Amino acid sequence: MASQSDKRSPVARRSVLGTALGGAAVAALPGAAHAEQAGTGGDAGPAGGRRPWRLRSALADDSAWETFLRGQDLLWSRLPALWHEGPFLGDGLLGSMIYREPDAHQIRFTVQHGRVQDHRPEFGSGWGTCRLPVGHLTLEPVGTITAVDWRLSLWNAELTGTVTTTAGTLTLAALIHDEVLAVRVTASGGERVTWAFHPEEAVSPRRIQEAPPAGYTGNPPWTTRTTADGTEQVLQPLTGGGQTATAYRRTGDELLLSVGHSFPSGTAAEADSLRNLRRGTSYAALRRRHVSWWHAFYRKSFVSFPDQRLQSFHWIQLYKVASASRAGGPVMATSGPWLEPTPWPAVWWNLNVQLEYWLIHGSNHLELDALAGTLRQNQEQLIANVPAAYRKDSSGIGRSSDMFANRSVGEPGTGAETGDLTWALHNVWLSYRHSMDKALLRDTIYPVLRRAINYYLHFLTPGSDGKLHLPSTLSPEYPVVPPQDTNYDLALIRWGCRTLLESAELLGVQDESAPRWRDVLARLTPYPVDDNGFMIGADTPYAQSHRHYSHMLMVYPLYLVNWDQPENRELITKSVTHWHALTGAHRGYSYTGAASIHAMTGDGDTALGYLRKFFDPTTRYPCRANTHYTEAGPVIETPLSASQSLHDMFCQSWGGVIRVFPAVPSAWADVTLHDFRTQGAFLVSAVRTAGVTRFIRVRSLAGEPLKLRHGLSGTLTVLLDDGSPAHTRDLGDGTLAIDLPKGREVLVHSGSRPDLVIAPVAVSEPGPAWGLP
């Protein structure tokens, strides 16, 4: 059998952009806003004629981008003492957080890797297939640290700055690229540069809250060696098979470090870590490739709004998700690539992984989608996860797993949590809808969703009312005896059957199960509701505070019950109100979820009010200084979902309709969007000033039908990129159907033509930088 590193060789960051999901996902890296004025040279239209209009960009060169993103950087004027205070670096695999070494005047650079895990599934995901720690570096000054002056540059994805001590000054720069941590430190005064690497015991971080399970034995101790060229290596064998190898080399002022992990091979990681270092060669060489990747990354989309603190937060989340994930890499665990002591050293499938990846769609970064690849590559494991009696046609996954989706799922009727694979497939469906990449639909969504829904169908039974009912299943983490007909599962069954029927039609498949899916949609029992709105399940009201919104999945993110259905508006409103009326258990994503639901209703002010609760330092679990989040351990999904809440205020595309500026808070008079990716594979650019939408430009990447809820008033101008009027149909409710061929653009505005400029908006709500400024 090939080693893990052989089967899943890392994809170089510089080659990933725009290729993750196939040709339909590719967009021009610099975007469609151009510096040319209409009528100037190079202003050719689609048929070779001169274009009558063209967007102009105030971010047309590197210096403009650098200036803008410099205003979003994290800053430190004092030494961070904890992981959630410090800078963080990553490339989707290797990760490092930088903060004070406990009880010492030293600086810790953690060394963790998203592929490093144990391989003993008999002990469960918390211990047997959990993420494992690697180690950490310490930078050890001569003197006592008295001050730091650090900047985490988003534009360059690089930490730079100084450390002042009683003996002198250390000047440092650090980055991670292609699985190499590169640090350059120079000393002045009486200081000198001293490094030490500290391997950490290869044991589950879950030990902070519980003892190992019965029969568990520790992994063997690590060994060290020095290669002929002076590279130091730490080799960690694993009881369940496989190996982790950490290699590091110091040359002059520079230290380069890399981590390899292999399974089942017990030696391949050793060579992998050395090969990564050879590819790095020097800080300068690595940095050239590194900044090239990041500069192209940021230019794929743009958003600006007048709240400085939240605007900076949003751009940091883009940096964070690109540091934590990439197509071809491991799906994010709850901590991303930055492992700290935690009860959750694995991948959690009942909310966490879904929220982690929503941000990539609107921001036009489908190249970061490791979730779709995980489900595609591990279809055999998803089959093995269900009881043997159902493996001929079913698949599933339990609540938590390793990066290979290895976790059995229980049967409906036993109170098991059974819907998590179907919910994860909704994320993959969103990646399809934002790319219209039929290969993703054919090779991943259709076959895996078919099996996930089949698992449910084995357990649906008709009741005396003639409706189909589901035996007891768990509504994720609601602390009561699992009811029948949980709303969590009913929503997923409905979405799954609808999506399978739509997918079969798109793929031209005559599926023998289609009549069954239609029958389920016709006869599935209605969602249980009471006077307070959606219940947890049949005979189980929402009666105690709950952090999850799983009982409202049909509202968000599935939009099966939505604001475009007037008959459901009261039900939606009282459900979300009652959810938050029972306090005590809410967490950060409770607020981001409520914000997104209110954004769906068009209430931007209430949406922002809920979102601000996540940032309120007086709440029990607020956003931390470096924009990370922690409860009993690191939980990466919540800050990323907060950026999705911002997306939901600015642009939505559920139900086949693109809604531009649907829920902008009244305090934000100016907003700029550029190349915001929507369902149907459209790129939307729009500018709002003084509370009024000035123009909308839509580019079609796939030729899908375009329905645009524009928010404009008065007589509309709708022009294609060759100057001809677009063919439109008024659908009512401020929505236009616009004929827009693949590869073409349309401009929509009212009144005289506005300035077609994409630029940052002026800050009206100043705020301090993130970090410890």
Residue 718 has φ and ψ, to the nearest 5°, of -130, 100
The pLDDT tens digits for 379-401 are 999 999 999 999 999 999 999 99
Task: List the 107-113 sheet strands across, edge first.
Answer: 88-90, 94-100, 107-113, 135-139, 195-199
Q: Say yes or no to pLDDT of 278 above 50.
A: yes
Q: What is the chain's alpha carbon radius of gyration, rounded to the nearest angstrom?
A: 26
Which residue from 408, 403, 430, 434 is spatially nearest to 420, judged by alpha carbons?
A: 408
Separation between Cα atoms, residue 99 and residue 86, nearest integer Å: 5
pLDDT digits (tens, 9 = 90+) for 596-618: 999 999 999 999 999 999 999 99
Going by C-beta distance under 8 Å and a sequence separation of 6 or more, which residues neighbour residue 164?
A: 145, 146, 147, 148, 149
- Give the pLDDT mean for 612-635: 95
- Per the model's pLDDT, the better-predicted residue between 760 and 9 turns out to be 760
**C-alpha to C-alpha distance for 559 and 536, rounded to whole angstroms:** 18
Bridge partners of residue 524, in order along the sequence = 468
Question: How far is residue 645's CA from residue 663's CA, in Å, rounded to a whole number?
Answer: 10
Residue whose structure tokens are 């029927």: 501
Around Cβ 177, how many Cβ atoms within 10 Å?
27
Q: According to the model, what pLDDT value does residue 537 have?
A: 98
Q: How many CA atoms lie within 13 A of 351 on its CB side?
A: 24
Rounded CA separation 316/625 (Å): 12
Burial of 434 (0-12, 13-18, 19+ CB in 10 A): buried
Which residues, 6 or more positions from 159, have their beta carbon under 8 angstroms from its beta carbon? 87, 89, 98, 150, 151, 152, 153, 172, 173, 174, 175
* pLDDT tens, residue by residue, 145-171: 999 999 999 999 999 999 999 999 999
Question: Do the domain assignments include residue 177?
Answer: yes
How much is the average pLDDT of 560-585?
98
Q: Is 191 part of any domain?
A: yes
CB-hemisphere CA count at 13 Å for 134? 36
Beta strands, E only, 325-399: 347-348
Rounded to whole angstroms, the Cα distance separating 66 from 125 reads 42
Q: Which pLDDT tens digit goes with each residue over 670-712?
A: 999 999 999 999 999 999 999 999 999 999 999 999 999 999 9
Instruction: Indicate whether 119 belongs to any domain.
Output: yes
Q: Greater confidence, 382 or 479?
A: 382
492 neighbors 519 (Cβ within 8 angstroms)? no
CB atoms near residue 64 (< 10 Å): 14
Q: Does the pLDDT of residue 2 top 60, yes or no?
A: no
> Which residues 6+ apart lie within 8 Å of 336 measured at CB?
90, 95, 114, 320, 323, 324, 325, 634, 636
Could you tell me the residue range of the domain that residue 201 belongs to? 74-298
Q: Return the closest-CA partner of residue 678 out of 437, 445, 363.
A: 363
DSSP H or E stretch at residue 65: helix 62-70
Task: Please say whether the beta carbons of 113 and 732 come within 8 A.
Answer: no
**Residue 254 falls inside a structural domain:** yes
Cβ atoms of 294 and 275 within 8 Å: the answer is: no
| Percentage of the residues of the chain whose pLDDT score is greater than 70 | 94
Q: Which residues contact 623 (CB under 8 A, 6 or more apart)?
A: 313, 588, 614, 615, 629, 638, 639, 642
d(CA 398, CA 652): 31
CB contact burial 288-305 (16+ within 10 A = b; e otherwise) = ebbbebbbebbbbbbbbb
pLDDT over 60 (residue 11): no
The predicted structure's pLDDT at residue 51: 84
Res 506: pLDDT: 98
The Cα 188–Cα 199 span in angstroms is 29
Gap between the terminal Cα atoms of the chain:
51
Q: Which residue from 568, 551, 530 is spatially nearest to 655, judged by alpha carbons?
A: 568
- The tokens of 701 are what? 């990447």
* 159 occurs within a structural domain: yes
Q: Which pLDDT band, with edges at 50, 70 and 90, does 31 fall under?
A: very low
Neighbours of 6 (CB within 10 A): 12
Question: In this structure, is residue 113 part of a structural domain?
Answer: yes
Task: For the chain, give the longest Cα–Cα distance.
Answer: 85
**Taking 50 as the threshold, does the pLDDT of residue 456 lie above it?**
yes
| pLDDT for residue 15 | 33
Handedness of CA 569, 574, 575, 577 (dihedral sign): positive
DSSP letter (8 states) at residue 684: E
Question: Where do runs of H (alpha helix) occur along 187-331?
Answer: 268-280, 283-298, 308-324
Q: Within a domain: residue 639?
A: no
Instruction: Measure the CA–CA gap between 242 and 265, rounded to whole angstroms.
Output: 5
Q: What is the mean pLDDT of residues 340-353?
A: 97
Q: Is the pLDDT of residue 311 over 90?
A: yes
The DSSP H or E segment spanning 594 is helix 588-600
Over residues 211-250, the pLDDT tens digits come to 999 999 999 999 999 999 999 999 999 999 999 999 999 9
Asked if residue 41 has pLDDT above 70, the reply is no
Q: Across residues 112-137, what is the average pLDDT?
A: 97
User: Residue 135 falls within a domain, yes or no?
Assistant: yes
- We report the CATH number of the domain holding residue 91 as 2.70.98.50
What sign does the CA torsion over 468, 469, 473, 477 have?
Answer: positive
| Spatial distance between the Cα atoms of 589 and 557, rounded to a whole number of angstroms | 13
What letter would DSSP give residue 25? G
C-alpha 521/C-alpha 327 separation (Å) is 34
pLDDT score for 157:
98
Q: What is the mean pLDDT of the chain?
A: 94
Does the pLDDT of residue 741 top 90, yes or no? yes
Q: Which of 176, 143, 151 is nearest to 69 (CA)?
A: 151
How many residues can be counted in the chain?
773
Strand bridging mode 771-772 / 74-76? parallel
Question: Is the model's pLDDT at 40 over the cut of 60?
Answer: no
Whether the CA torsion 30, 32, 36, 42 is positive or negative: it is: positive
**Crossing angle for the helix pair 569-581 and 588-600, to the nearest 10 degrees:** 160
Count of structural domains, the chain: 1
The span from the CA of 289 to the CA of 277, in Å, is 14
